[in-house]
Structure 1
Amino acid sequence: MDAKPLLQQYQHRVEQHLKTVLNQSGDAEKVRLAMQYSLFNGGKRVRPVLVYMANQLLDGNLADADAAACAIECIHSYSLVHDDLPAMDDDALRRGKPTCHIAFDEATAILAGDGLQSLAFQLLAADSALSSDIRLKMVQILARDSGYQGMVGGQSIDLCNEGQQISIEQLELMHRHKTGALINASIEMGALSSTHASDTDLQALLTYARAIGLAFQVKDDILDIESNTETLGKPQGSDLLHEKSTYPALLGMSGAKQKLANLNAQAHASIDCFNDAAAPLHWLADYIVERQY
């Protein structure tokens, strides 16, 4: 199955909803423009696409998934704005464009990230399409997986280990938090938005999410070595520059590619129980490991 048209449909859908939210002018116009700049700079929208795909796999209504799709992209975008700051990864390019603190200034970038984070929870809380119980559960999931038990915790582990050699187990722990947690949240919120996900459905989908979440990072590590700045849209070789442990560094390039293939196989196997209905998720797993940026 070629799910690329579906990918584009979901990308367009979440972007239209985000534009509606951020086109509303306010008193703090500069920070709104910085938030807008960071949200609409060419992202692949993998996380909101996962929200929609999980919703549709379980016969949900797409409209019930819109708030979760927008919220997860706001959190992801905020994390990138903060990751790029001088105190973190100190990057000047993101998706081929100046990073937020370069395009605006450092203080505005910090506030833009803060604004995107709070907007995510506002969108979930204000969504009248779902029951209050489901909205509360989504807020809990997103707070957990974006906070110190998830993405923030992974970023902290990453920063604490710069310039140090860590084990493959520690590396996996870091990335299951830093990258994997938001992938898990995307799948879990998408399933919840369908309103009738069983425990068995959720278990299969979370196994899939764990596999593709780690695969996403392994592929990033490989691309950081094999690609170039123009294709990546960010500085190639930044992992080496910051002396970060990566899968190629610990396993060798052939070992990292084998790890990627194993994770892809795990992702496919985990959703075989859904039969043909899971075709879009199978396609997305391959998209993640075959992408060039």
Structure 2
Amino acid sequence: MMGFAERLGHAAAATDRVLSERLGEMRADERAPERLFDATDHALLGGGKRFRPFLVIEAARLCGGPEEPAVTVGAAFECLHAYSLVHDDLPAMDDDDMRRGRPTVHKAYDEATAILVGDGLQALAFQLITSPPVPAEAAGPLAYLLAVESGHLGMVGGQYRDLNAIGLDEPGIRLMQSLKTGALIRGACEAGAIVAGAGADTRTELARFGALIGEAFQLADDLLDIEGSAEETGKRVGKDAEFGKATVPALIGLDAAHKRLDAIVSEAVAVLAPFGAAGDVLREAARFVAERRS
């Protein structure tokens, strides 16, 4: 059995294959605007760990589901994630010039193109999740899950809270982050169970695991913004302090934040206890979230 690093690499390669093939098919259509597709390639195929697709694939594997439909569902989650990054980088939002060590889409192209790239990626996510090889009986529940986790009560709502400084105490910050960052991670874990045809209890357990590692992911990201470097992360660091942004580490201190991160990871690992050794790769994923440097 492959270990965590091998499984993560395998998921990334499989995801990139699906995304490249689907974009290639669309490019072949005479209606396809070449520059828009160039900008989409820049946003979607320019690197990244493909962590959300990995979670879909591994959750499906844990539930005994086949890999091919899980890869397609994972690619849909990656499209949603990439769209969110393109829009998050815009001047009207976080105004970032660098992403994954390269110019952001609005810097490499222009703002209007970046907005349309994000819009197109959102549409592509739903196209992928509702087409073969995703089982027809799973397409509806998956599309609903993706819509909820990416919408007003998920990622978009979290971004709005962040931009408008809603809830600047610790509970408010954690709620905002559970929506802005955690929703797609939680949804990816549950999506793996859905595409594998797992029951409601298993879906709930994997969603709980996803919620915890989503919280850990954002807390680690906040710590990287303080302790990391642009060379490590591939993006500008120190932004939170520069703009006076409220984060959990800023409120409780670095030592307490590191202890909390360790506690969240331990709780996530414990959630997987009923799965026995089959859950080892996802356990390693929880630890990876806390230890990553990019």
| TM-score bracket for the superposition, by shorter chain length | over 0.9
Note the 1:113-124 alignment, pairs <5 A: 113-124=118-129
Q: Which 5+ residue runs of structure 1 have no aligned equivalent?
A: none
Equivalent residue, structure 2, for 1:104: 109
Stretch of structure 1 that moved more, 97-106 or 243-252: 243-252
Q: What is the alpha-carbon distance in structure 1 between the residues aligned to residue 60 and residue 241 of structure 2? A: 39
- The secondary structure found in structure 2 opposite 1:219 is helix
Is 1:136 the counterpart of 2:137? The answer is: no
Q: What is the alpha-carbon distance in structure 2 between the residues aligned to residue 184 and residue 201 of structure 1? A: 13
Q: CA deviation at 1:199?
A: 2.0
Q: What is the alpha-carbon distance in structure 1 between the residues aligned to residue 224 and residue 134 of structure 2? A: 40
Equivalent residue, structure 2, for 1:155: 159
Matching residue's letter, 2:210: A
Q: Which 5+ residue runs of structure 2 have no aligned equivalent?
A: none
- The secondary structure found in structure 1 opposite 2:276 is helix
Question: 4+ residue stretches of structure 1 with deviation over 3 A?
Answer: none
- The secondary structure found in structure 1 opposite 2:130 is helix
Is 1:182 the counterpart of 2:161? The answer is: no
Equivalent residue, structure 1, for 2:67: 62
2:212–2:267 contact (8 Å) kept in structure 1:
yes
Equivalent residue, structure 1, for 2:279: 278
Q: What is the alpha-carbon distance in structure 2 between the residues aligned to residue 181 and residue 30 of structure 1? A: 31
Q: CA deviation at 1:127?
A: 2.4
Q: CA deviation at 1:128?
A: 4.4
Is 1:47 the counterpart of 2:44? The answer is: no
Matching residue's letter, 1:75: L
Q: CA deviation at 1:165?
A: 7.8
Change (3 A) 1:244 1:165: farther
- The secondary structure found in structure 1 opposite 2:11 is helix
Equivalent residue, structure 1, for 2:260: 259
Q: CA deviation at 1:57?
A: 0.2
% identical aligned pairs = 41
- The secondary structure found in structure 2 opposite 1:64 is helix
Note the 1:160-175 alignment, pairs <5 A: 160-161=164-165, 166-175=168-177
So what's the TM-score if we normalise by structure 1?
Answer: 0.96
Matching residue's letter, 1:147: G
Q: CA deviation at 1:3?
A: 1.4
Q: Deviations over 1:115-135 (max 9, x none)?
A: 00000001112224402x310
What number of residue pairs does the alignment pair up?
289
Q: What is the alpha-carbon distance in structure 2 between the residues aligned to residue 45 and residue 67 of structure 1? A: 13
Note the 1:23-34 alignment, pairs <5 A: 23-24=24-25, 25=27, 26=29, 27-34=32-39
1:165–1:245 contact (8 Å) kept in structure 2:
no
Q: What is the alpha-carbon distance in structure 1 between the residues aligned to residue 205 and residue 75 of structure 2? A: 24
Report the aligned-residue RMSD: 1.3
- The secondary structure found in structure 1 opposite 2:236 is coil
Q: CA deviation at 1:242?
A: 2.5
Q: Deviations over 1:66-119 (max 9, x none)?
A: 221110000000000000000000000001100000011111000000000000
Q: What is the alpha-carbon distance in structure 2 between the residues aligned to residue 175 and residue 219 of structure 1? A: 12
Equivalent residue, structure 1, for 2:149: 145
Q: What is the alpha-carbon distance in structure 2 between the residues aligned to residue 239 and residue 31 of structure 1? A: 32
Q: CA deviation at 1:2?
A: 3.6
Q: CA deviation at 1:194?
A: 0.7
Is 1:79 the counterpart of 2:84? The answer is: yes
1:38–1:77 contact (8 Å) kept in structure 2:
yes
2:55–2:189 contact (8 Å) kept in structure 1:
yes
Equivalent residue, structure 2, for 1:291: 292
2:69–2:133 contact (8 Å) kept in structure 1:
no
Matching residue's letter, 1:90: D
